[in-house]
Amino acid sequence: MSIFGNILSRIMGHAKASPAATPATEAAAQGGSPPPPGTHDDVAAAAGQPASIQNVDVAAILDGLATKAPQKLDWQHSIVDLMKLLGLDSSLENRKELAQELGYGGNTGDSAAMNIWLHKQVMQKLAENGGKVPDALRT
């Protein structure tokens, strides 16, 4: 799976662990029934693609994880801290791979510029995949 796919999967895993964020509990709260097996998320997972994070409050999940983290992680500004918060390898090599995956056209030798671009791009991609991401984190 891609590095971005891993980011998406980790967020989805935490969303599903939170009763308030699951499609089944959302459907029940609205008087409906949970989505049946074989929905888009199941098909995407079977195809090796990350599941959709439709209507998942990404900031709330990450804030919740940050409050439980043993160290202070500034996930709102740092791609390294975001990856650490999700339990992913935040090495320069992995960030370069993520940059390539997301189409970074700059110099990967300038890690500061690349990291800023990566953070914004990841937030934008999370939003494009249906996650609720504050506008301030996408621009």
Span 108-135, mean pLDDT?
A: 96
Quote the Cα angle for 92-98-100, to 5°. 105
Beta-carbon contacts of residue 19 (< 8 Å; ≥ 6 apart): 25
Task: Reduce the secondary structure of 71-110 to three states and give it as a string.
Answer: CCCCCCCCHHHHHHHCCCCCCHHHHHHHHHHCCCCCCCCC
Span 56-68, mean pLDDT?
A: 95
Do the Cβ atoms of 96 and 3 come closer than 8 Å?
Answer: no
Predicted confidence band at 31 (pLDDT cuts at 50, 70, 90)? very low
Beta-carbon contacts of residue 76 (< 8 Å; ≥ 6 apart): 59, 62, 137
- pLDDT, residue 15, reads 77
Predicted confidence band at 120 (pLDDT cuts at 50, 70, 90)? very high
Q: Does 91 score more than 60 pLDDT?
A: yes
- pLDDT, residue 69, reads 94
pLDDT greater at residue 26 or residue 52: 52
Domain boundaries, given as residue ranges, for the chain: 3-133
Instruction: Kindly tell me the sign of the dihedral angle through the C-alpha atoms of 137, 102, 21, 89.
Output: negative
- pLDDT, residue 13, reads 83
Predicted confidence band at 47 (pLDDT cuts at 50, 70, 90)? very low
